[in-house]
Structures are given as structure tokens and as C-alpha cells.
């Protein structure tokens, strides 16, 4: 296994801020609860301050950015950092910069349309319109930030009040914890592959998919499976041999490059073949999970 994790991975954080389309009107909420003799706080009146249609482009870009992040990275901590393999950085960075530029353009378009948006809200909301709900500069409510930092290393530890022996021990402990966290994070690859296979077999509701001969499955069930099988080797940043073999076994069984949605839907023999191969792939993952670090 590769040991110097700082050479094969990094940590990334994606932070996106945007104004909400709706807002609770406290005064109207209090009026409603008083009218029905309810306790304050028992009901809320929410008003649409900006129509979803006006935020549609920005929301689409944000969703695409989250999907891109989740595709190329693995979980790391609860503070929003995720682990990105160094081998994926160039493609990830190129695509994320494209989305950031699209986001900034969309925000500027919204800002230019802001007077019309406020006029529309004033007409729709009538007496519930409140100028204070609308910032003077709408663009100030949006941000798109991607932070990239190195993986934690024991050699980064700088403590002058301990002995050399204690410092070395602490550095080794940091390195060991980092490697263990990487191993745990990499297990997400197994979960993503299994989840994609089960969606193909059962559908998102457990009633569709290949196991139900009368059900049509969405094309995304195939594309998601192809996507994770394609990127799984890059996400195996420690070159875990058990995980590598599992990925290769699934790839050999599924042959993702040959999956054709229309053919699976219209050709019973093709559907049954993909069904059989997918079930074998599930069993292959189950058999390997005990040995994955």
C-alpha cells in the first residue's frame, strides 16, 4: 500500500451560499395563531419572496457542483471536508472552475433582473410585501468557494515543549490515525458500488429495476453504475489489493462499457443477462467486504 498519503490525496471543502426563495412572516404567523387562539409558534406563515423559477439556474449549478464533489471525493469529517485523490485533481478542478464561473454569471443575471423580481413580489404579496426582506445588493447573498488543503501529516507537528521522543511518538500517532481514516473513508467506494447495483436491480423504491420484469428503470440507474465503476480505481488511494480485486471483479462481470439502456429495456435476453451479472456482482462485493480495509 502507498503510505505517504499526502502524495496521493488532498482535502477539499465546497461552500455555496444562496438566498432562500421563501421566508417566514413572523407578524402574520402571530396573527394566525391569535385568530385561532393557538399558542404562539404553533403555526408559521411562509411567503415566497423570490420565485423558484428565478433561482432555477443557480440551484441547478449548485446541485451539479455537489454531484461533482460527491463523484470525485470520499467522506472525511463532519466539517464538510472530503478526500480528493490527487489523480482526479485536474479534471475535478477544471469542472469545478467551470461551474464557479457559471455560478457567477447566473448571479449577475439575477442581479440585473432584481428590480423586476422585487416588482413581481410586491404585486404577488400585496400587503405582506416587506422591503426589509430584500437586500440592497442581491449578489451579496451568494457565494461559491472551493478550498483545497493538504492531508494532515505527522511532520507538520511543531511542539517545542516536548522531547524529541515524545514529538516522534505524536507524529507517528497522527500518521497512523490519518491512514486509518483514509481506509475507513475508502470503504465508501464499496457502499457506492453496492447502492448503484441495488438501484439497478430494485429501482429507487425497491419495486422497479431488473428484478421486476414489468418495470421500466431510469437511464440514471445505468449511468450511475457506470460512473462509480469507472472512478472506483482512482478512489482506492491506498491501492488496497482487496478493494482493487473487488473493483476488477465487478467490472469484469458488469462490463459497464457495454451496457445499453434501450437494449436492456427491449431485449429480454439482454435484460436477463445483465440481471444475472448484476446479482453475481452483488455477491462478489458481499464476499469481499470482510477483507476490505
Cα–Cα distances in angstroms (integers) from residue 196 to residues 9, 84, 147, 206, 291, in the given order: 24, 21, 29, 13, 21
What pLDDT does residue 158 have?
53
The whole-chain average pLDDT of the chain stands at: 89
d(CA 117, CA 166): 62
- Given a contact cutoff of 8 angstroms between Cβ atoms, the answer to whether 105 and 220 are in contact is no
Query: In the structure, how many helices (H) and strands (E) does the chain have?
Result: 10, 6
Q: What is the pLDDT of residues 105-159, one digit of tens each?
A: 999 999 999 999 999 999 999 999 999 999 999 999 999 999 999 987 655 545 5
Q: What is the pLDDT of residue 114?
A: 97
Task: Give yes or no for a contact between 56 and 113, defined as CB atoms under 8 angstroms apart.
Answer: no
Q: Which residue has the cell 464533489?
A: 69
Q: Which three-class secondary structure state does DSSP give residue 49?
A: coil
219, 229, 227: which is closest to 260 by C-alpha? 219
What CA–CA distance (Å, rounded) separates 59 from 131?
24
Q: pLDDT digit string (tens) for 47-81? A: 999 999 999 999 999 999 999 999 999 999 989 99
Domain borders along the chain are 12-150, 187-289
d(C-alpha 267, C-alpha 241), whole Å = 37
Closest CA to 260 of 249, 271, 251: 271
Quick one: 256 exposed, middle or buried, by C-beta within 10 A (0-12, 13-18, 19+)?
A: middle
Confidence (pTM): 0.85
Whether the predicted pLDDT of 177 surpasses 90:
no
Longest dimension (CA), the chain: 72
User: 10 Å Cβ neighbour count for 211?
Assistant: 17
Q: Where are the alpha helices (DSSP H) in 240-267?
A: 241-254, 261-266
* Contact call for residues 197 and 285 (beta carbons, < 8 A): yes
Give whole-number Cα distances, 284 to 239, 252, 256, 257, 259, in Å: 19, 11, 16, 19, 19
- Please state, for a pLDDT cut of 90, what percent of the chain lies above it: 70
Residue 73, all three cell numbers: 471525493
DSSP string, 173-205: HHHHHHHHHHHHHHTHHHHHHHHHHHHHHH-TT
CA 274 – CA 261 distance, rounded (Å): 11
Q: What is the pLDDT of residue 293?
A: 44
Amino acid at each position: 500500500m502507498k503510505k505517504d498519503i499526502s502524495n496521493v490525496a488532498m482535502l477539499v471543502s465546497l461552500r455555496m451560499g444562496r438566498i432562500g426563495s421563501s421566508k417566514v412572516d413572523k407578524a402574520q404567523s402571530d396573527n394566525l395563531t391569535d385568530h385561532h387562539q393557538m399558542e404562539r409558534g404553533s403555526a408559521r406563515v411562509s411567503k415566497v419572496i423570490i420565485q423558484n423559477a428565478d433561482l432555477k439556474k443557480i440551484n441547478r449549478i449548485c446541485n451539479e457542483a455537489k454531484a461533482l464533489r460527491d463523484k470525485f471525493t470520499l467522506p472525511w469529517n463532519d466539517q464538510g471536508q472530503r478526500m480528493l485523490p490527487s489523480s482526479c485533481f485536474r479534471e475535478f478542478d477544471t469542472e469545478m472552475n467551470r461551474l464557479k464561473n457559471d455560478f457567477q454569471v447566473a448571479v449577475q443575471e439575477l442581479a440585473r433582473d432584481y428590480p423586476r423580481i422585487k416588482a413581481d413580489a410586491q404585486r404577488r404579496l400585496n400587503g405582506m410585501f416587506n422591503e426589509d426582506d430584500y437586500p440592497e445588493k442581491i449578489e451579496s447573498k451568494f457565494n461559491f468557494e472551493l478550498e483545497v488543503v493538504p492531508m494532515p501529516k505527522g511532520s507538520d507537528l511543531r511542539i517545542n515543549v516536548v522531547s524529541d521522543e515524545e514529538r516522534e511518538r505524536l507524529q507517528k500517532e497522527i500518521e497512523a490515525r490519518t491512514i486509518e481514516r483514509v481506509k475507513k473513508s475508502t470503504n465508501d467506494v464499496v457502499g457506492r458500488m453496492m447502492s448503484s447495483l441495488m438501484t439497478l436491480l430494485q429501482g429507487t423504491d425497491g419495486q422497479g429495476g431488473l428484478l421486476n420484469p414489468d418495470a421500466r428503470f431510469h437511464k440514471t440507474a445505468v449511468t450511475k453504475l457506470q460512473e462509480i465503476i469507472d472512478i472506483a480505481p482512482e478512489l482506492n488511494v491506498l491501492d488496497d489489493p482487496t478493494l482493487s480485486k473487488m473493483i476488477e471483479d465487478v467490472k469484469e462481470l458488469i462490463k459497464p462499457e457495454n451496457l445499453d439502456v434501450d437494449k436492456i429495456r427491449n431485449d429480454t435476453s439482454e435484460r436477463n443477462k445483465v440481471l444475472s451479472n448484476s446479482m453475481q456482482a452483488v455477491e462478489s462485493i458481499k464476499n469481499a467486504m470482510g477483507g476490505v480495509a
